[in-house]
Structure 1
Amino acid sequence: MKPDVSEQLLTRWQEAWPRALAVWSQFTRLSDPRLCASTVAAAEEGLTTSFAMIRLADQSVVIDLEAVQKLGLDDYAMEILAHEVGHHVLAPANASDHFRLLATIRKGLPTLEKHAAMVANLYTDLLINDRLQRQGRLQMHTIYQKLLAGQPAMTKAGVWALYMRIYERLWTLESGSLGVAVDDPLFESHSWLGARLVRVYANDWLTGGARFAALLLPYLHEAAEEEAAALERLHDTREAGLDCEPCGLVDYGDGELQDPIHPVEDPLINDNLDKSPEVPTPQTTDANTPGRGQRREPFEYGEILRAAGLKLSDADMAVRYYREAALPYLIPFPKSKVPQRQEAQMEGLEAWELGDALDDIDWLASLSLSPHAVPGVTTMKRHYGLAPGNEPASKPIDLDIYVDSSGSMPNPQQRISYMALAGAVICLSALRGGSRVQATLWSGKNQFTSTPGFVRDEEAILRILTGHLGGATAFPIHKLRETFSTRAEHERDCHILHISDDGITTMFDDDERGNSGWEVAAQALQRGRAGGTMALNLWQDWQTSNTKVSQDLRRARIEQGWQIHMVNDLPQLLDFAREFSRRHYGDRKQERLDASRDGPFPRAFAKHGARP
């Protein structure tokens, strides 16, 4: 079968790789590029629209040599490979900065955020190619001339024309030498601003990202089909973030909430402006205003990840969002005391056999038995038993959490839900302490989903917490009843947590068997032996209101010992987390004072409270 590309071409590109690395530094180290001999092989690597691409997860470079040959770029191995290395070395360099750049670019593209990935690619290409052309002495401009050869002339003042004109200004080329000539004073002014921006922000390119996006914004409104096709061939960072784990993206970066500046208004770019302007006062924003607080909304977080190339569903995005948002607020989770800690005591030696862990071999005992170690014959291992120790031990407390997902609750996958975040904080804290968690998402009658019992699967638990059903409101009393009706005395103690709003009072209705919900809740607390907590989205004066909901909640707190917390925003979430931890780990005297003020605590709190 005839090969897609010649062995000679493949060899030439392989030999060019070390020299492409050295263009940036003699110390640059990356794995060898994936030089695909056919477009089919390139597609298997994930390269489908362009002739080259990078992946930040494994710091790899992928080249479609068949496409390279069709475009007439066979002799530009150094230029193309050095360009791809530049994405790993200069911009975006790593996944974190790639995500941050996309977030910054989006701020400069109001209503056209869908183009953020393409604009970010054009911007980083300008930074890389300018350095390679001027400092690396590579012929980057000839690549664009080759790409335009045989293509219909583009004379419209669009994105591609502006992009090429910026290169011509950067490299002092004649207008139209890269195949596009536009006679328009405003267009010429914009191309000059673009070239200045690339030079001014070469070492601070994250700051310049939003300015570049603002410059391209009016041209994106009229992008032509032929321009889109040409730009698509250059998009080598389309899936650069695939398989990367986002970090630090939940919160807005410094200055990100300020309106983006157009390059014409930047005194560092425009020489006609005062270079020492007054520092603008940052705009104050309300943390509860969608998309304008110090924390991103989940839908915006998801759009940034998709622009980076991550192929995740809304549920997957929400899991990542709430995991990262919850980590800074994790708390000590309660553990129950047991009389004595069991300590391992050596009781003797026994034969080490093939299949046992290699680390278990006692080499001193084995060589004492025979100077020639024969696996399974002369190898020995120590045998340990358990003996009561002098120190008391602790045992993790399980967590049974019920999350309201009725229509009155916010969708955690679209807007930030501080109730869901509160649940994530408690669940992740429980898992960190060795606990098991059963999570149940509920809405209307027979509308619920749950983990398969008490598990330690973080992904499955967060998927329940961040789910959304959006139906009616009917607490699954039978689920609570069945969980604790057969719970044996020897099983771990279990704390019960409810995430809801005023719909939680449906827990006290009669179940399908006619049993009172009050009795089911009381039995659950009694057999759980570790108390119960409610984190609720309530109105401010719920404790003094005379509504039936308020009366039921006050009764639940006084008669059964439910701890009720109002969680509507981040400060209340932090108060809830601190209070939850303090009630289990705090000073006993303070707990008694709180009990006299807020009503009786469950006896299990005093019984299982432990000092950290």
Structure 2
Amino acid sequence: MTIKEGEGFSTMTKKAGLSTTFEESLERIAWDAWDEAIADYYFPALAKPKLVFDSTHREGFYIDTQEWRVTLNLLEVPPFVGEKEIHDFLHSISQHEIGHYDLCPYDGLTAATLLSAAMKKVSETFAPLVVNIFADLVIDTQLWGRFRELTEWRLREEIKDIFSQEKGKKKTKFSETWKILVKAYEYLWDVDLGLNAIDFTQADAKAHRIAAIIAPKLLEKTTWESKVTKIASLLKANLNEDFTLQVGERRTRGGQVCLKGPEDYERQFGDPSEIKSREKVQGKIPTASNADAERFAKDRNFSDYGAPARAAGLIHDGSTLATWYRGRARDLISIHIYETKPGGSLPAYPENWRIGDPLEDLDLLLSAQVSPVIIPNITTRKWRHKEGPACLEEKIPPDLLIVLDSSGSMNWNPEGRSDAQRGEYDIATVAAFAAAHFAFSRGCKVAVLNFSDVAITCDWTTQYAKVEGTILQYQGGGTVVPIQSLKKLARNADRHTLILIITDFGLNNFNSTIKACLELAVEGHSITGFFIGADDQEFDRNPRFTNLHEHGIFFYPVKQVKELIGLVIEEVKRYY
């Protein structure tokens, strides 16, 4: 197919009554270009894009949230004369788009990390825009290094298309954000993109600074967070001026709150609100990546976690708070349970065999080596045996009953930015999550008794969401252990259990609690108690705790709250 001279691609496709044959020809060019681009990235596992002719979109590429597929809008390709130019442009723009899913940000975890970095300087609304700007510069610069002529030509054609859109207007005005970005490309690549007619008085310094930030260690991901934060700080004022917040129907955002950008930016760089990661383009509605969501929570405050995790597609439903605690507790416990088995009898050294010893102990070969003449008691020999080294056999751990004190003295503020601000219940919650998920990983059942003024229970289950939900129901009342609920849960177990008690030592019914624990220990359950705030010496002298170890009951004082996690892990190791 050859497009007639003077009739651009966009002009042709926008005409009424576009023939099916012509559409099919354009689609063939697009598929060929996409296949070449996929080969350039060594065939990553990405679904093929959806090809459309959509005049309602200014973007050439976007994610259709109805099908969660990359969508290529063939109406928005700049006007070209021949088929080769159309193919080359679609080839290059496909390379760029694939780069978002194969290079930067690549996956939801990286996207969330970069969003969090941007939010240090700009609001949650503008963070996706900053990440997209950073990713565009990284991807195009990497492509320019591999496909210099093609990438540079495509960028020039995009700029020409922007100029053509401004032609004929009474007043030509380019947005500062767009000017900063295209000028940054000139500095990054050290090329002239034909921008001499534009006034870069205000944009030049920021463009030069952005290029200086991007260029060093371009593909080293460990540098990306700090780079995004710096770029967000540089562009904050321009983004506030050029972009407006809108609430309404917008196909690429599914009707959510989104940004509307200047026409020049959106035409060249696409939807400013869109977050691109590999999880979002698998040909179906994306599901949360639990492992990535949990890894993102490590060493991160809750106030810095939820917004970027949701925006990056790591969390779509379920509890953000539970995912955050699960991530903080992740891999705190990695335990194998072994039972010592005897290694059997092994020969240690020879000794005399005497009359009266078992005949089967006589070793004739050993005796013949001593003397060819067999003389009982003199030349007869046998082996002295000893017990060989023991071997370890992995055993199945017991089910776990978590007894958790959520009274008012166990303070809780998950929004705090330090352990002290988050309170005692925060540390107890991390410990409970760690123990519960270790038990789940070993195929065990878990039950929870959350006590304060009332008893909130979760019966024996293998469903972690139920356990987590019960742990997170902070009450903030009195400190009374519900004895009957404790006994009922323990006795309803299919087998003997490990009962893990986490409290702050302020039990109003301490004596009856100890009595109940003794009863359960006699029945075969193992019990560990961690009491926050108790002093070691005072604890050792307390007659209420004497003679409990022989019943399998172990109570340990915790003077500092931060010690609780280590103690819980140590005790779980003991039993598991």
Class of the TM-score when normalised by the shorter of the 2 chains: 0.5 to 0.7
2:255 maps to which residue? none
Q: Which of the numbers 498, 517, 522 marks the counterpart of 1:495?
A: 498
Residue deviations 1:210-236 (CA, integer Å, cap 9, x gap): 234314414314512547523673448
Give the Cα separation in 2 of the matches to 1:544 and 1:508.
Answer: 16
Give the Cα separation in 2 of the matches to 1:50 and 1:569.
Answer: 53
Residue deviations 1:504-531 (CA, integer Å, cap 9, x gap): x14548xxxxxx555444434444x222
In the TM superposition, residue 182 of structure 1 has moved relative to its aligned partner by 3.6
2:132 maps to which residue? 121
Give the Cα separation in 1 of the matches to 2:530 and 2:77.
Answer: 61
Q: Does 1:82 align with 2:76?
A: no
How many positions carry a matched residue from both structures?
A: 452
- CA gap 1:3/1:304 in 2 versus in 1, 3 angstroms: farther
Give the Cα separation in 1 of the matches to 2:492 and 2:338.
Answer: 19
Give the Cα separation in 1 of the matches to 2:230 and 2:393.
Answer: 64
Give the Cα separation in 1 of the matches to 2:400 and 2:79.
Answer: 61
Name the amino acid aligned to 1:563.
Answer: F
Give the Cα separation in 2 of the matches to 1:249 and 1:393.
Answer: 31
Does the 8 Å CA contact 1:79/1:140 hold for their aligned counterparts?
A: no
1:343 maps to which residue? none
Q: Does 1:245 align with 2:272?
A: no
Matches within 5 A, 1:403-552: 403-407=404-408, 408-411=410-413, 417-445=426-454, 448=456, 450-451=457-458, 453-465=459-471, 467-474=472-479, 475-484=481-490, 487=492, 491-503=494-506, 505-506=507-508, 508=510, 516-527=512-523, 529-536=524-531, 538-539=532-533, 541=535, 544=538
In the TM superposition, residue 493 of structure 1 has moved relative to its aligned partner by 0.5
2:377 maps to which residue? none
Does the 8 Å CA contact 1:190/1:215 hold for their aligned counterparts?
A: no
Give the Cα separation in 2 of the matches to 1:169 and 1:517.
Answer: 72
Q: Does 1:15 align with 2:48?
A: no
2:569 maps to which residue? 577
In the TM superposition, residue 129 of structure 1 has moved relative to its aligned partner by 1.9
SS of equivalent to 1:499: strand
Does the 8 Å CA contact 2:329/2:431 hold for their aligned counterparts?
A: no
- CA gap 1:429/1:174 in 2 versus in 1, 3 angstroms: closer
- CA gap 1:427/1:250 in 2 versus in 1, 3 angstroms: closer
SS of equivalent to 1:82: helix
2:346 maps to which residue? none
Give the Cα separation in 1 of the matches to 2:525 and 2:243.
Answer: 67
- CA gap 1:234/1:182 in 2 versus in 1, 3 angstroms: same
Give the Cα separation in 1 of the matches to 2:48 and 2:325.
Answer: 33
Give the Cα separation in 1 of the matches to 2:187 and 2:488.
Answer: 74
- CA gap 1:520/1:553 in 2 versus in 1, 3 angstroms: same
Name the amino acid aligned to 1:472.
Answer: G
In the TM superposition, residue 126 of structure 1 has moved relative to its aligned partner by 0.6
- CA gap 1:51/1:409 in 2 versus in 1, 3 angstroms: farther
Matches within 5 A, 1:237-276: 238-240=275-277, 241=279, 242-243=286-287, 245=289, 247=291
Give the Cα separation in 1 of the matches to 2:528 and 2:97.
Answer: 54
Matches within 5 A, 1:275-314: 295-312=299-316
- CA gap 1:133/1:518 in 2 versus in 1, 3 angstroms: closer
Give the Cα separation in 2 of the matches to 1:542 and 1:49.
Answer: 69
TM-score scaled by length of structure 1: 0.61
SS of equivalent to 1:201: coil
In the TM superposition, residue 62 of structure 1 has moved relative to its aligned partner by 0.5
Q: Which of the numbers 221, 226, 235 marks the counterpart of 1:210?
A: 226
In the TM superposition, residue 414 of structure 1 has moved relative to its aligned partner by 6.4
In the TM superposition, residue 296 of structure 1 has moved relative to its aligned partner by 2.1
SS of equivalent to 1:200: coil
Q: Does 1:173 align with 2:186?
A: no
Does the 8 Å CA contact 2:431/2:564 hold for their aligned counterparts?
A: no
2:401 maps to which residue? 400
Q: Does 1:199 align with 2:218?
A: no
SS of equivalent to 1:401: strand
In the TM superposition, residue 324 of structure 1 has moved relative to its aligned partner by 6.2
- CA gap 1:78/1:111 in 2 versus in 1, 3 angstroms: closer
Q: What is the root-mean-square deviation of aligned Cα atoms in Å?
A: 4.6
Name the amino acid aligned to 1:501.
Answer: D
Does the 8 Å CA contact 2:337/2:395 hold for their aligned counterparts?
A: no
Residue deviations 1:183-215 (CA, integer Å, cap 9, x gap): 23xx42221122233332323254154234314
In the TM superposition, residue 492 of structure 1 has moved relative to its aligned partner by 0.6
SS of equivalent to 1:224: helix
SS of equivalent to 1:563: strand
Give the Cα separation in 2 of the matches to 1:203 and 1:3.
Answer: 44
